[in-house]
């Protein structure tokens, strides 16, 4: 699609003609500030809530090995006071006045911050005046200003002049530690940590990312290191305007939103830092062709097969991995799941393409097993590879991919509406990826092309010499001889026995498959034409729906970090 421009103002190139759902009544504008923050503005005239999100291209992969979790700790600390708003809870107090909340998350290669506020029944739409500090003026005066403008000013100063207040550091480190302790009760996180521990030890994915009081306080002190100094050092070295993507959604006109963003966010320092990338392999030959037996804390029976896969960010137009995971994960007649369920071996099956970071992905098949299925896990693995052999033995089927192309379009056009904070957070993250900017809304969701070659290349990663497997069970097989350092999960890992690998290879190559395993049938119920539909209604919060206008409702305030 040819890039459509909304014009240029003050040397700034604007993009406004974004591909969007036909019933989407919002207005959009993309431009870049002089300090290289890329900005997406969204005007929705009838929304009762506003939001902003900023995604910065730095995450836990940038943690120094001697201080795991520091990126997460910095995320916490930015909320605790800035030069303009030095009170540690100034932002939270402001959000409380407008039924708002904030949140943030630290991922491998990015950190995502966002907030949401409610509009009062009457809000100015073009005020450029700075909102007064709630701690220094009464509530009525504060509410004369736009809650979005006031929120943006407080939010923006996270990235201009954070204070890293000394008396808040210990409390935030304990908050990080509390999250880590909560994760220790979650088997999904525990198994994820085991899988991370068993990749290339030179890759940052191998490292502990959440952080704990031990890694962020006790160990640095023992080395004679002051944690606050390290937090400031990390922020100074890694946070830069040219790594940031900003999304703002409000009822104010685009020109007003643009003026506010320029006034505030043009002051974020640009250090011209390069994009973070890690190009070393996630797996070496040592980590592949292994079987890991891990002991959960809950009564869970799971089998997972993981295949190292290529990075597909640049292939978003055709999403070739979608073809693979839809075949592996479908549940209808002919599927692996239907076959295993009929035998009483499987409770559920999911196939997933995991975009871990720029450079390398994973394809995973996860099967929830029955007790009998656990006993038959080797046979199940062979059936999965028989189905992969079936997939690879046929040329990519255009009709099958076109069904999913059509469904991706339907979901994009008529999908459920999201809250403003969901929209801003997801789009700020998407802006870090190489989507053509006119396709920023549709690119993550709509498959445009069937690419026979890319699908065939993708299938080449699904083979018996390019995987590892994990069995999760409290009792089988016993004899766990290792304990994962950070989660305490008991496990044992070993190379898959040669005789079992030979059986897998034979199943993969064999044409003598069970007749119950075959390609899906064509889906006759996919809508091929768009039907009449009512225009989208503006997003209205559940709180507003559940309470009449004259009945006060609870205001929400909170901040949580998820890793």
Catalytic residue numbers, as ranges: 75
547, containing H or E segment: none
Cα-based angle 501, 502, 506 (whole degrees, multiple of 5): 115
- Evaluated on CA atoms 436, 442, 447, 448, the torsion sign reads negative
Q: Give how far Cα 11 sits from Cα of 34, 258, 272, 437, 438, Å.
A: 9, 14, 20, 18, 20
Q: Are 28 and 16 in contact (CB under 8 A)?
A: yes
Q: Are 48 and 539 in contact (CB under 8 A)?
A: yes
DSSP, collapsed to helix, strand or coil, labels residue 521 as coil
- Evaluated on CA atoms 90, 94, 99, 100, the torsion sign reads negative
Q: Which residues are CB-contacts of 400 (< 8 A; sequence separation ≥ 6)?
A: 323, 326, 327, 519, 520
- Burial class from Cβ neighbours inside 10 Å (0-12, 13-18, 19+) for residue 87 reads middle
Kindly state the DSSP code that residue 87 receives in the 8-state scheme: S
Per-residue b or e along 203-222, where b marks 16 or more CB atoms closer than 10 Å to that residue's CB:
bbbebbbbbbbbbbbebbee
Q: Which two tokens stand for residue 379?
A: 């046979």
The 3-state secondary structure of 450-516 reads CCHHHHHHHHCCCCCCCCEEEEECCCCCCCCCEECCCCCCEEEEEECCHHHHHHHHHHHHCCCCCCC
Per-residue b or e along 278-316, where b marks 16 or more CB atoms closer than 10 Å to that residue's CB:
beeebbeeebbbbbbbbbbeeebbbbbbbbbbbebeebb
Strand order in the sheet with 290-294: 346-357, 360-369, 302-309, 468-472, 290-294, 490-495, 482-483
User: DSSP string of 205-234?
Assistant: GGS--S--HIIIIIHHHHTT--HHHHHHHH
* Rounded (10°) CA dihedral 481, 182, 235, 278: 40
Cα-based angle 20, 22, 23 (whole degrees, multiple of 5): 110
Q: Which two tokens stand for residue 268?
A: 């974020």
Q: Are 304 and 353 in contact (CB under 8 A)?
A: no
Q: Are 231 and 78 in contact (CB under 8 A)?
A: no
Where would I find the beta strands (DSSP E) of 83-233?
101-106, 111-118
């Amino acid at each position: 699609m040819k890039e459509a421009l909304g014009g240029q103002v003050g040397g700034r190139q604007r993009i406004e003609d974004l591909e969007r759902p036909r019933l989407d009544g919002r207005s959009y504008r993309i431009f870049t500030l002089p300090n290289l923050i890329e900005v997406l503005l969204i005007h929705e005239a009838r929304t009762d809530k506003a939001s902003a999100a900023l995604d910065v291209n730095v995450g836990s992969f940038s943690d120094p090995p001697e201080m795991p979790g520091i990126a997460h700790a910095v995320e916490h600390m930015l909320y605790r006071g800035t030069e303009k708003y030095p009170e540690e809870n100034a932002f939270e107090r402001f959000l409380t006045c407008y039924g708002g909340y904030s949140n943030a998350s630290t991922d491998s290669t990015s950190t995502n911050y966002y907030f949401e506020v409610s509009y009062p029944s009457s809000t100015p739409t073009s005020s450029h005046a700075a909102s007064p500090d709630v701690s220094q003026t009464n509530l009525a005066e504060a509410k004369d200003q736009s809650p979005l403008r006031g929120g943006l000013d407080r939010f923006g100063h996270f990235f201009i002049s954070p204070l890293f207040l000394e008396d808040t550091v210990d409390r935030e480190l304990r908050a990080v530690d509390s999250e880590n302790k909560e994760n220790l009760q979650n088997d999904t996180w525990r198994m994820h940590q085991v899988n991370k521990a068993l990749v290339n030890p030179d890759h940052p994915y191998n490292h502990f990312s959440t952080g704990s009081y031990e890694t962020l306080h006790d160990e640095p002190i023992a080395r004679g290191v002051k944690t606050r100094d390290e937090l400031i050092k990390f922020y100074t070295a890694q946070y830069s305007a040219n790594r940031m993507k900003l999304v703002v959604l409000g009822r104010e006109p685009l020109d007003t939103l643009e003026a506010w963003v320029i006034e505030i966010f043009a002051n974020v320092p640009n250090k011209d830092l390069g994009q973070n990338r890690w190009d070393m392999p996630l797996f070496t030959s040592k980590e592949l062709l292994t079987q890991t037996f891990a002991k959960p804390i809950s009564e869970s029976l799971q089998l997972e097969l993981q295949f190292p896969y290529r990075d597909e960010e640049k292939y978003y137009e055709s999403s070739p991995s979608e073809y693979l995971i839809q075949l592996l994960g479908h549940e209808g007649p002919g599927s692996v799941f239907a076959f295993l369920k009929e035998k009483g071996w499987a409770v559920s099956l999911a196939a997933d393409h995991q975009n871990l970071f720029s450079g390398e992905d994973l394809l995973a098949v996860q099967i929830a097993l029955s007790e009998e299925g656990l006993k038959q896990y080797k046979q199940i693995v062979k059936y999965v590879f028989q189905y992969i052999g079936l997939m690879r033995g046929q040329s990519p089927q255009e009709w099958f991919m076109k069904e999913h192309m059509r469904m991706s379009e339907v979901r994009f056009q008529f999908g459920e509406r999201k809250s403003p904070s969901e929209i801003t957070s997801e789009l700020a993250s998407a802006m870090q990826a190489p989507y053509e900017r006119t396709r920023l809304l549709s690119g993550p969701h709509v498959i445009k092309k069937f690419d026979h070659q890319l699908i065939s290349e993708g299938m080449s990663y699904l083979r018996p010499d390019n995987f590892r497997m994990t069995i999760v069970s409290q009792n089988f097989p016993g004899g766990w001889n290792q304990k994962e350092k950070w989660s305490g999960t008991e496990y044992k890992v070993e190379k898959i026995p040669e005789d079992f690998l030979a059986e897998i290879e034979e199943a993969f190559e064999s044409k003598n498959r069970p007749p119950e395993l075959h390609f899906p049938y064509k889906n006759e119920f996919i809508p091929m034409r768009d039907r009449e539909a009512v225009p989208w209604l503006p997003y209205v919060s559940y709180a507003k729906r559940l309470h009449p206008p004259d009945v006060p409702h609870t205001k929400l305030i909170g901040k949580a970090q998820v890793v």
